[in-house]
Amino acid sequence: MPNEADTCRRYVLPKFYAAGWTDDQISEQKTFTDGKIVVAGNKATRQKPKRADYILNYTRDLMISVVEAKATYKSAGDGLQQAMDYAQTLGLKFAYSTRRKKYARFSLKQIVSYIDNLCAKISTFIKIQNNTKVELDLLLPSILARAFNGDLL
């Protein structure tokens, strides 16, 4: 009976590659916490670190999704809560769980489109902010002059 590692190697990675993901965008068996420290009396122990089966990256420094793979004898849903918890911890918007041939779509185009749209909105806000700053900088001397002359009362 194939285990989780077999599922990753035989089924998940080929799906990533078929969807257009590259090795540079796929982090496999990625540990992202050191493990919670539990104190009982005067003794402290560290729990197991959190490790995602896969983290997908838009760029080297921009993680966008967690993917949890489960062994073939489990359902894909068994890993969904775990993937969602990991995504929340990492501040990511996308979480997937998969097993063998039951998988969510790993659509690079959908995620890239979402990020491009978000970047366009951010760019618009930056332009508005810069325009507002220029306008305020132009108004500042007249406002200060009127304030020092007592005209703003």
Neighbouring C-beta atoms of residue 63, cutoff 10 Å: 21
Residues 6+ apart with CB under 8 A from 20: 108, 109
Report residue 58's pLDDT band, with 50, 70 and 90 as the boundaries: confident
- Quote the pLDDT of residue 6: 67
The answer on 113 and 52 residing in a single domain is no
- Quote the pLDDT of residue 105: 45
Helix runs in the chain, H state only: 4-7, 13-18, 80-90, 108-148
Tell me which residue range forms the domain holding 85: 4-106
Residue 98 bridge partners (DSSP): 69
Q: Which residue has the tokens 């965008």?
A: 25
The answer on 119 and 66 residing in a single domain is no
Looking at the structure of the chain, the number of domains it has is 2
- Quote the pLDDT of residue 104: 45
The answer on 132 and 74 residing in a single domain is no
The residue out of 89, 106, 123 marking a domain boundary is 106
For residues 65 and 49, the answer to whether their CB atoms sit within 8 Å is no
Question: Residues of the chain with pLDDT > 90: what percent?
Answer: 14
| C-alpha pair distances (Å), 29 with each of 24, 54, 139 | 14, 6, 55
Q: Which residue has the tokens 């997908």?
A: 56
The answer on 83 and 140 residing in a single domain is no
The answer on 9 and 74 residing in a single domain is yes
The answer on 132 and 88 residing in a single domain is no
For residues 121 and 109, the answer to whether their CB atoms sit within 8 Å is no
Residue 54 bridge partners (DSSP): 28, 67
The answer on 114 and 99 residing in a single domain is no
Q: What is the CATH number of the domain that holds 84?
A: 3.90.1570.30
The answer on 102 and 50 residing in a single domain is yes
The answer on 113 and 101 residing in a single domain is no
pLDDT tens digits for 25-51?
A: 998 888 888 888 999 989 999 989 888
pLDDT tens digits for 79-91?
A: 778 888 888 899 8
The answer on 62 and 113 residing in a single domain is no
pLDDT tens digits for 3-29?
A: 666 667 777 888 888 888 899 999 888
Structure tokens at 128: 């508005």
Chain centre to alpha carbon of residue 53: 14
The answer on 96 and 39 residing in a single domain is yes
- Quote the pLDDT of residue 106: 44
The answer on 94 and 116 residing in a single domain is no
